[in-house]
Structure 1
Amino acid sequence: MKLVLGRSVTSPTLSLLVTLAVAGQGCALGTDTGGADEATGELDTAPNLAPEQATPPQRVTVPAGTTSFLSADEVYMQNVYYGEEEEEEEEEEEEEEEEEEEEEEEEEENDEEIEEGDIYRVLDPGTLLNLNVHQGFQVIDVSNPEQPSLTGRLMLKGTPKEMYAAGDRAVVLLDGHAIYTRTDERVGIERRDGAAVVLVDISDHSAPSVIDTVPVPGWFMTSRMTAADGHTRLYVASTFHDPQLGQFNTALRSFEITDDAILARSAFDLGGNVRAVHAEANVMLVARQRIGDWERSAISLVDISDPSGAMSIHAEFTASGYVRSQFHMDVRGDQLRVFSGARWGNSGPNYLQIYDIADLDTPTLIDEETFGDGDAIFGAIFLDDRAFAVTYFRVDPFHAFAIDDSGDATEMNEFVVSGWNEFFRPVLDQERLIGIGIDDADGRRLAVSLYDITDLSNPEPLVERVNVSGADGRWDYSEALWDHRAFSILDDAVSVQAPGGETETGIILLPFRSHRIVDGYWRQVNGTQIFTFSQDTLTRRGVMEHGGRVRRSFLNGADTAVNLSEDVLSIYDNTQVDEPALSGSLELAPSFLQALDYSSFQATLQQTLSADWNHGTLAYKLIMLCDDGEQLASIALDDRPMNGPPTMRKLGDHHLALLHRRYTYSPTYIWVTTVEIFDLSDPSNPVQISTFESSELPSFEGGYTWRGHKPSLFATERALVFARWTNVNESIGQENYCNRVARSFNNCFGEPGCEYAAGAVTCRSIEGAPEFCEGGFAICEDLGGGDTHCEPVDEEEVEDDVYGGSCYMRTARRRSEEIELMVLDLSNPAAPVLQPSISFDEEDEAGNLLVQGDEVYVTTKRPEAVPGDSRPHVRYSFTRIDLGDPAQPVFDQPVNIPGELLAVRGDTLYTRDVVWGPQFIDYAIAKLHLCEGEAELESYAPLYDRYPVDMAVDERGRVLVSYYQHWMPHDYYYGWLPSHRLGIFEASRNPHRTEMRERSNSLLPLWLEFAQTHGRYAFWRTLDGLIAMDIKQSRHPKVRKYLPTGTRARELDFDGDMLKVPAGKQGLFEFDLRDDSYDIPMQ
Structure 2
Amino acid sequence: MSASRQPTPEYGASTFVSADDVFDLAPSTSVDAGTFDGAASGAPSTSPGDRDDAVVTVDRGNLYRLGADQLLLNFNAYRGLQLIDLSNPDLPVMKGSIRATGTPVEMYAVGRYVFMLLNDWSGYYARRPHVDAVEDVLGAFHYEGGVVLVADISDPDAPILLDRALIPGAISTSRLKQSGDQVALYVVTSRQDTNAAEMRTLVKSFSLDASGRLTPRSEIDLGGNVTDIQATSERLLVARSALPPSSSGPKSQVTILDIQGVDGSMLEGASVVTEGVVRSKDNMDLFGDILRIVTANTRGSLSNTNHIETFDARDISNVTRIAHETFGDGEDLYATIFDGPKAFFVTYRFVDPFHAFEIGADGSIVERSQFIVSGWNNFFRLTQNGERLVGIGWDDPNQHGRQLAISLYDATDLTNPSPLLARETATFTFASASEATWDDQAFTVIEGATHIAAPNGEIETNVVLLPFSGQDPAAGRYVAAVQIFTFSATTLTRRGVMDHGAPVRRTFAVEPDNRNVANLSDVRLGLYDVSNPDAPIERGRMELAPYDEAFFVVGDDYGVRLRRTSYAYSWWGYAAPVRPHDVLEVIPLEDDVDRAMPVASIDIEPGAPVYQMGDRLAVLYGTVTSSVPAVRSLTLDMWSLADPTAPALLGRSPIAGCEAFGCDPAFQSQVMVAGETLVFVEQVWEQISIGTRHVRYIEPDAFRCGSDCFISGFMQCSSLHRIDGTIEPETCSGSPFKKCPLAMSQEYCTDIEDPTSIATHEVERTYEVFRDSSRAVFHPLDISDPSNPVMRDALGMSQGEESTHIFAAGTTVYSAWKVPHPVPGDTRNFADHYFRAIDFSAPSTPEAGPAINVPGVLLAVTGDTLVTRDALFNGTRVETSVDKLVLRDDVAYLVGVKRFDDRRVRDVVVEGQRHVLVTHQSATDDTSSPAVSLSVLDLADSVFDETASLPIAPSAVVLDVDLESQAHRALFLVSGGILALNLNDLTAPEAEAFFPMRGQPSSLVANQSALYLAAQRYGLYRFDFGRANLLEP
Task: Please indicate the TM-score interval, normalised by the length of the shorter structure.
Answer: 0.7 to 0.9
Task: Specify which of 402, 412, 430 is matched with residue 386 of structure 2.
Answer: 430
- Show the 5 A alignment for 1:151-230: 151-182=95-126, 187-230=138-181
Deviation at 1:136, TM superposition (A): 0.5
**Is residue 659 of structure 1 aligned with residue 616 of structure 2?**
no
1:724 aligns with 2:685: no
Counterparts of 1:58-73 in structure 2, within 5 Å, are 62-73=9-20
User: Do the aligned partners of 1:716 and 1:853 also contact (CA within 8 Å) in 2?
Assistant: yes
Kindly indicate whether residue 507 of structure 2 is the aligned counterpart of residue 553 of structure 1.
yes
2:202 aligned residue: 251
Separation of aligned partners in 2, 1:378 and 1:205: 41
Q: Contact conserved, 1:701 with 1:712, CA < 8 A, in 2?
A: no
Q: Deviations over 1:220-269 (max 9, x none)?
A: 11111121143111111111112212211111011111232111111111
Tell me if the contact between 2:11 and 2:894 (Cα under 8 Å) persists in the aligned partners: yes
Quick check: 376-385 or 1067-1076, which moved more? 1067-1076
Indicate which of 267, 278, 283 corresponds to 1:323: 278
CA contact (8 A) 1:354 1:365 kept: yes
Q: Deviations over 1:97-123 (max 9, x none)?
A: xxxxxxxxxx99989721111010012
Q: Which residue of 2 aligns with 1:528?
A: 482
Does 2:526 align with 1:570?
yes
For the 8 Å contact 2:632–2:664, the answer to whether it is kept is no
Between 1028-1037 and 522-531, report the one with greater CA deviation.
1028-1037
**Post-superposition offset of 1:900:** 1.6
Between 429-438 and 807-816, the greater mean CA deviation after superposition: 807-816
Mapped pair 1:1064 → 2:1011? no
Deviations along 1:456-489, one digit per CA (max 9) or x if unpaired, are 2222221111111113xx4521110111111111
Say whether the 8 Å CA contact 2:621–2:665 is kept in structure 1.
Answer: no
**Shift in Å at residue 963 of structure 1?**
2.9
Could you give the per-residue CA deviations for residues 600-658 of structure 1, whole angstroms, max 9, x where no partner exists?
311110012589797387642111111123444454647x3x5xx33211112x21012
Contact 1:132/1:138 (CA < 8 Å) preserved in 2?
yes
Matched, 1:908 2:860: no
Q: Structure 1: how far apart are the matches of 2:293 and 2:939?
A: 73
Q: 1:1006-1050 CA distances to partner (integer Å, 9 max, x unpaired)? A: 231111364322211124332122334444333233233465434
Q: 1:863 aligns with which of 813, 820, 825?
A: 820
- Decide whether aligned partners of structure 1 residues 612 and 1000 sit closer, same or farther in structure 2, where only a CA change above 3 A counts: closer
Structure 2 letter corresponding to 1:460: S
Match of 1:747 in 2: none
What is the CA distance between 1:830 and its match in structure 2? 1.9
Q: Which residue of 1 aligns with 2:405?
A: 447
Instruction: Kindly report which structure 2 residues correspond to 1:1037-1048, keeping only aligned pairs within 5 A, or say none.
Output: 1037-1045=989-997, 1048=1000
Residue 68 of structure 1, CA deviation: 1.6
CA offsets, 1:501-532, max 9 Å, x none? 01111110111113335xx5432111111100
- After TM superposition, the structure 1 = structure 2 runs for residues 463-612 of structure 1, keeping only pairs within 5 Å, are 463-471=421-429, 474=430, 476-517=432-473, 521-557=475-511, 558=513, 559-599=515-555, 600-608=557-565
* Closer, same or farther: CA 354–959 of 1 in aligned 2, 3 Å: same
Question: Contact 2:122–2:996 at 8 Å: present in 1 too?
Answer: no
Secondary structure in 2 matching 1:327: helix
The residue number in structure 1 matching 2:710 is none
| Whole-Å separation in 1 of the counterparts to 2:764 and 2:308 | 65
Q: Which residue of 2 aligns with 1:852?
A: 809
Residue by residue over 1:344-386, the C-alpha shift from the partner in whole angstroms, topping out at 9 and shown as x without a partner, is: 1323311111112111112222221110011121100111121
Shift, 1:1052, TM fit: 1.6
Amino acid of the residue matched to residue 1008 of structure 2? G
Contact 2:342/2:356, CA 8 A, preserved across alignment: yes
C-alpha distance in 1 between matches for 2:176 and 2:972? 39
Shift of 1:162: 1.2
CA–CA separation in structure 2 for the residues paired with 1:279 and 1:488 = 21
1:687 is matched with which residue?
648
Q: Is the 8 A contact 1:700 1:713 kept in 2?
A: no
CA 1:947–1:883 in 2, change beyond 3 Å: closer, same or farther? Answer: same
Q: Classify the secondary structure of the residue corresponding to 1:485.
A: coil
TM-score (norm 1): 0.81
Question: Residue 948 of structure 1 is aligned with which of 888, 905, 913?
Answer: 905
Looking at structure 1, the residues matched to 508 and 186 of structure 2 have their Cα atoms a distance apart, in angstroms, of 26
Aligned twin of 2:609: 647
Paired residues of 1:186 and 1:1036 also in contact (CA < 8 A): no
Q: CA RMSD in A?
A: 3.0
Q: Structure 2: where are the runs of 5+ without partners?
A: 25-40, 45-54, 129-135, 574-578, 698-715, 734-762
Using a 3 Å threshold, how does the CA distance of structure 1 residues 440 and 475 change in structure 2: closer, same or farther? farther
User: Contact 1:46 / 1:917 at 8 angstroms: preserved in 2?
Assistant: no
1:121 to 65, 68, 93: 65
Find the counterpart in structure 2 of residue 271 from structure 1. Answer: 223
Equivalent pair of 1:702/1:713 in contact (CA under 8 Å) = no
Query: Which residue among 244, 265, 268 is the counterpart of 1:313?
Result: 268
Kept in 2: contact 1:774–1:919 (CA 8 A) = no
Amino acid at match of 2:297: A
2-structure distance, mates of 1:467, 1:186: 53
Q: Which amino acid aligns with 1:493?
A: A
Paired residue type of 2:372: V
Whether the 8 Å CA contact 2:992–2:1027 is kept in 1: the answer is no
Moved more, 67-76 or 158-167: 67-76
Aligned residue pairs total 924
1:72 and 1:738 map into 2 onto residues whose CA distance is 28
- Name the SS for the 1:113 alignment partner: strand
Between stretches 439-448 and 258-267, larger displacement belongs to 439-448
Instruction: Give the equivalent residue in structure 2 for 1:797.
Output: none
State whether structure 2 residue 1027 is matched by structure 1 residue 1075.
yes
1:133 aligns with 2:95: no
Using the size of structure 2 for normalisation, the TM-score is: 0.85
Q: Where do residues 785-934 of structure 1 align in structure 2 (5 Å cutoff)? A: 811-934=768-891
Structure 1 CA distance for aligned equivalents of residues 989 and 765 of structure 2: 49
Which AA in structure 2 matches 1:648?
V
CA separation of 1:483/1:226 partners in 2, compared to 1, >3 Å: closer, same or farther? same
TM-superposed deviation, 1:314? 0.7
Contact 2:126 2:1030 in 1 (8 A): no
- Contact 2:8 2:899 (8 Å CA) reproduced: no
How do 1:766-781 residues align onto structure 2 when only pairs under 5 Å count?
Answer: 766-767=720-721, 769-771=727-729
Most deviating of 578-587 and 1047-1056: 1047-1056
1:87 alignment counterpart? none
In the superposition, relative to structure 1, how do residues 928 and 680 fare at CA in structure 2: closer, same or farther (>3 Å)? Answer: same
Asked if the contact 1:731/1:813 (under 8 Å) is kept, the reply is yes
Aligned 8 A contact 2:982 2:992 in 1 = yes
CA separation of 1:845/1:699 partners in 2, compared to 1, >3 Å: closer, same or farther?
Answer: farther
Question: Which amino acid counterpart does residue 143 of structure 1 have in structure 2?
Answer: S
Residue in structure 2 matched with residue 91 of structure 1 by the alignment = none
| Counterpart-to-counterpart distance in 1, 2:567 and 2:955 | 36
Kept after mapping to 2: 8 A contact 1:610/1:619: no
Cα distance, 1:685 vs structure 2: 2.3
- Taking a change above 3 Å as real, the CA distance of residues 886 and 224 of structure 1, as seen in their structure-2 partners, is same
Are the structure 2 counterparts of residues 1079 and 385 from structure 1 closer, same or farther at C-alpha, using a change threshold of 3 Å?
closer
Judge conservation of contact 1:341–1:377 (CA < 8 Å) in 2: yes
Task: Report if aligned partners of 2:147, 2:165 keep a CA contact under 8 Å in 1.
Answer: yes
**Counterpart for residue 792 of structure 1:** none
Percentage of matched positions with identical amino acids:
31
- Cα deviation for residue 290 of structure 1 reads 2.9
Determine whether 1:339 maps to 2:294: yes
- Counterpart CA distance in 2 for 1:236 and 1:286 is 11
Alpha carbons 1:283, 1:303 under 8 Å: kept: yes
Q: CA deviation at 1:585?
A: 1.0
